Amino acid sequence: MQFSADFVALGLHQADVHRAERELVLRMAAEARGSDDAGASSEPVAHRSHRGHGRALRLALR
C-alpha cells in the first residue's frame, strides 16, 4: 500500500515539475517577444529556427 502512495506522489511531483517547466518556457518566450518589440534595431533580422519549438526546458532533478 505504501508503494502505491509513493508511486502516486512521485507522479504528482513529476506533473508539477512539467507544468512548471512549461510555464518557464512560456515566460521566457513572452520575455523574448517583449524585448524584440521594445527596441527597433538597424541590424537585419536573422531567420529564427522553429526546429525545437515543441520541446520544453528540461531541469535536472536527480
Q: Which three cell numbers stand for residue 37?
A: 518589440
Contact 17, 61 (CB under 8 A): yes
Whether the model clears a pTM of 0.75, i.e. scores above it, the answer is: no
Query: What does the mean pLDDT of the chain come to?
Result: 76
pLDDT tens-digit series, residues 24-47:
999 999 999 888 765 555 555 555
- In 3D, which of 18, 9, 7 has the Cα closest to residue 61? 18
